[in-house]
Structure 1
């Protein structure tokens, strides 16, 4: 069985693969991330009509596939309400895996990442099993996110059991397994605590609350008392990277989470100016690239234990240079 990545250094988590340079959640994006030195690859998981788990950012797939170009699926277009939001499009739970495999992936942010459009149409939608096989082949960890677990459970397509079954089939059912399971909801992580021994990560955002109503707000969850409650069932905390800062000054969230016994893996570090804080932007072009390495270095100095990035090569460089600087200071 593979060992989990070393926790002596912060881990670099390839967010949907190397999604800054390839269409997200494709084998090509994951392979590039691995080649760039990522410790972990991240698949978001949604179910198909026939119960398979596939890697897509959302179950609505018009932004990430060519489904709209398939006349045979035109009648599948519909409107649904998911976690309180009305969405119109095509949804994975209305397609069998065989049908989804006839689609091809495309860049989700074509205006922000126009170069990635050169790879449109080249990749299929990967299954969770395919992602596991890729991780095993290259000796990296996986970081699956359960998307909309309450919604899927409500339509009879719960994802917790098939997720655990796939991990068990892979031989991954211990705290040392190269797996981290993440969720923005609370109740499914609490259920998973009784279903598997792999590490669980509570995701939190700077606004809003869990869709399952398990907490009044994410803000309440990251109070010292809230973090202690999270630590009862979770191994780590995944905060929006903006929660590490109040303007240019650091907040106490990293220290508070550590005090509660939680590791901290903020999300998501991206190179484009649009996603960077003002102090790290270069010019005014939203899709121009700024100082992502500097932004990550700042977070590393706060003591984070890992981070999600669309640009693993930059993340690895930032992590390694921070390590060398730390060793040189001793």
Structure 2
């Protein structure tokens, strides 16, 4: 996924800033970077660390009790390092050049669609796990579920849905070269995304502190925090991307003919919006009916 946008300029002279790279990378993708693979490796480590944490518990633990946490923390550094390198090469290096050539727009959108396909598989695995445990005794034996469907959840859901509309109309305004409306709606979208993240943090605080509902609260606790935490990570990344687009917009990087970053980030944001609605229906409402 790249934040680079299309222009007719050839940036072959800037290859020294794009290491690691090779020369025969498909035109439109800019470079053959290792950073997405490093980021994916770090993300994979989260799951490995969680699995080792489970295997390290109980009287017949297979690994040491701290093996899982160590792997998880190490993976976090790998993930954040890969993410930094990815965003740096996709955004900072070509910041003043306004992005890649005009043939890259379609390729970037196709890459985003492919990326979202992998995200569907990732969330799908989590939902399969939840449906598996939901088919058994419910509520799970010994588990005390907190009041899941609250005014906070409903407000947070409304905020995320509205942010999807504001981003859509921001993109529409850009296509009409209405830069003032584009920037105003982008600012609103970014603000709503930050509020949503804060709302989810407040929900976690209420569950952990006041309701004593933790990750180790049976199989539902692991499913709840696993899926909502994964979604929160995606929303945080989306907010970062929107923030980058907003800064580039302030510097006049976009117009009706140059908007690939806006388009791909919009696709990503609409995706996390749709996943959240599905989460609320299945994980919140579905747990109490």
* Alignment TM class, shorter chain as reference: under 0.3
Q: Which has the higher strand share?
A: 1
| TM-score of the aligned structures, taking structure 1 as reference length | 0.21
Q: TM-score, normalised by structure 2?
A: 0.24
Higher relative contact order (CA 8 A, sep 6+): 2
Higher helix share: 2
